[in-house]
Amino acid sequence: MILAFNSRTVAPMKTSLLVIIASLVLSAGLVHADVEIRKGGSSWAKIEDDGTIRIGGSSVGKFESDGTVRKGGSSVGKVESDGTIRKGGSSVGKIETDGTLRKGGSSIGKIESGGDIRKGGSSWGSASGCCGSHGGKRAVAAVLMFFSDAF
């Protein structure tokens, strides 16, 4: 069997294929999952689908979609889309796209794409279900910078 294609049949197929691909890409970006942060192998914190941050099972704050970080309902800072970390309006650090975590301009650690969390070059912990994108790294950085004394 020989199939014949002409410009009238190829153009609609290309358009349909592009629509299918775009739908898959967009829907993949909308999938949310809880992020679990482990410290020294034990569960330490969780970021729920709605941004609620839990430590030891208790709600301690929220990471909002615009990067705002809340403790007890009050805004305490923000992790901006470019990775700049602000506390009380002042820049205190940055989470870079490669996961390098900076405080006062100096590298203090890294959130790796596979979820490993390093502090000063040594393994500190891990995060599951989060870190392949800059957005996931921003959420983990928010928990580390605003809720952990270690960072």
The count of domains in the chain is 1
pLDDT at 28 over 80: no
What is the pLDDT at residue 22? 37
Q: Within a domain: residue 9? A: no
Q: Per residue in 31-48, pLDDT tens?
A: 357 999 999 889 999 999
Question: Averaged over 113-125, what is the pLDDT?
Answer: 95
**Distance separating alpha carbons of residues 118 and 103, to the nearest angstrom:** 14
Q: Which pLDDT value is given to residue 32? A: 52
Rounded Cα gap, residues 67 and 120, in angstroms? 25
Instruction: Kindly state whether residue 49 falls inside one of the protein's structural domains.
Output: yes
In a domain, 28, yes or no: no
Entry pTM: 0.77
Per-residue pLDDT for 99 more than 80?
yes
Strand partners, 106: 103
pLDDT number for residue 123: 96
Q: Would residue 105 count as lying in a domain?
A: yes
141 assigned to some structural domain: yes
Residue 18, in any domain of the structure: no
Residue 54 belongs to some domain of the structure = yes
**Range of the structural domain that residue 93 is part of:** 33-147
